Amino acid sequence: MNLLTIRKWASVLIFAVSCQIGCSENDFDKVDGPNVRVMRNEDGSRTIFERSPDNKTLTKKTFSGNGVLQMVTVYRMDENENPLSCKIYDGKRNELYKVSYGYRKSDAQLIEERMFDSRVRRINPLDGVTEMPVRRFIYTYDGEGKRSRGQAITLIPGHTANDVYGKEAAAPENPFKEATPTNPKASPLKR
């Protein structure tokens, strides 16, 4: 290796270490290219999006206002650049959550996100085998194909919906059913 190559790799290593410890204002501005985007947030934090050249991976890194790495999210994408799964890490690269995305077969619209806790595997008590998500987001679409806001469902471990909300969540009987008269010999009213 020549001296120029060593200096080049030394500067890359120094930049990588400084981003792990903390980045200055100028270091963020140096990160650029066709596969990198930098967002400056209102609170002074920054988010860097890095896309792989084949568009199969998208990495989102969030830094605090003083340049300390706060969170990393790595998305795995399909050929249409829709997320298939992602892993969420804290600033120290500890894996916190893993997320899977579900799409409708008929039109490939996103209908569900499932977030699983990576630190503690939660097993479904009904079957004792499958892993339970910590949170689910369900999406619906209107007649024009516009997606609704996600409906978040947080699953409380060890409890069923009946335990949390009570036995009867819906009307026990059909409210449109014709009521039987109190007097069985009475004739119905004419309308």
Give a three-class secondary structure readout of 7-59.
HHHHHHHHHHHHHHHCCCHHHHHHCCECCEEEEECCCCCEEEEEECCCCCEEE
Could you report the per-residue pLDDT of 116-165, keeping only the tens digit for each? Answer: 999 998 888 888 899 999 999 999 999 888 999 989 888 866 666 667 66
Mean pLDDT of 48-64: 93
Q: How many domains does the chain have?
A: 1
**160 vs 72, 123, 131, 171, CA distance in Å?**
33, 14, 16, 19
133 found inside a domain: yes
Residue 145 inside a domain? The answer is yes
pTM for the whole thing?
Answer: 0.65
Structural contact between residues 12 and 19, judged by C-beta atoms closer than 8 angstroms? no
Residue 30 confidence (pLDDT): 54
Residue 170 lies in a domain: no
Structure confidence at residue 1 (pLDDT):
42
Domain-embedded: residue 58: yes
- Taking Cα atoms as reference points, which of 112, 70, 120 lies closest to residue 93? 70
Please indicate, yes or no, if residue 189 is contained in any of the structural domains: no
Inside any domain, residue 158 = yes
Q: pLDDT value at position 172?
A: 52
Which range (22-31, 70-79, 151-160, 172-181) has the least confidence?
Answer: 22-31
Q: What percent of the chain clears pLDDT 90, i.e. is strictly above it?
A: 46
**pLDDT attached to residue 104:** 92
Is 177 a domain residue?
no
pLDDT for position 150: 87
Q: At 120, is the secondary structure helix, strand, or coil?
A: coil
Domain of 23 in residue numbering reads as: 3-165
Ranges 1-5, 58-62, 145-149, 175-179: which has the least confidence: 1-5
The better pLDDT of the pair 155, 55 is held by 55
Task: Say if 94 falls within a structural domain.
Answer: yes
Residue 51 has pLDDT above 90, yes or no: yes
Q: Closest Cα partner for 147 from 187, 108, 190?
A: 108
